[in-house]
Amino acid sequence: MSLCISGLLLACARGAARSTPSEAALSDDGPVSPCNQEPTRLDTDVQVFITASPANKVHFSTTDVKVGAGQTVQFVSQVNQDRCIVVADAGLLASGSQNPLTVAACGTASWTLLATDKSKDETALWSCPTTSDGGCSHCADAQSIRETINGKLEVTSGGGV
Total domains present in the chain? 1
Q: Are 83 and 127 in contact (CB under 8 A)?
A: yes
E strands of 61-161, at which residues? 64-67, 72-77, 83-87, 101-103, 108-112, 122-129, 149-155
Helix (H) or strand (E) holding 48: strand 46-52
Residue range of the domain that includes 73: 46-131+145-156
Residue 102 pLDDT: 92
Evaluate whether residue 98 is within a structural domain: yes
The domain that holds 152 is classified in CATH as 2.60.40.420
pLDDT digits (tens, 9 = 90+) for 7-64: 332 332 233 333 333 344 445 767 788 998 877 777 778 899 998 887 777 888 888 8
Question: Is 40 domain-assigned?
Answer: no
Residue closest to 19 by CA, chosen among 159, 153, 151, 161: 151
Q: Please indicate, yes or no, if residue 71 is contained in any of the structural domains.
A: yes
**Whether the predicted pLDDT of 128 surpasses 70:** yes
pLDDT in tens, 81-105: 899 998 888 888 999 999 999 999 9
Q: Is residue 108 situated within a structural domain?
A: yes
pLDDT of the residue at 76: 92
In contact, 45 and 145? CB cutoff 8 Å: no
Provide the sign of the torsion angle of the four alpha carbons 35, 17, 84, 139, taken in this order.
positive
DSSP state of 16: -
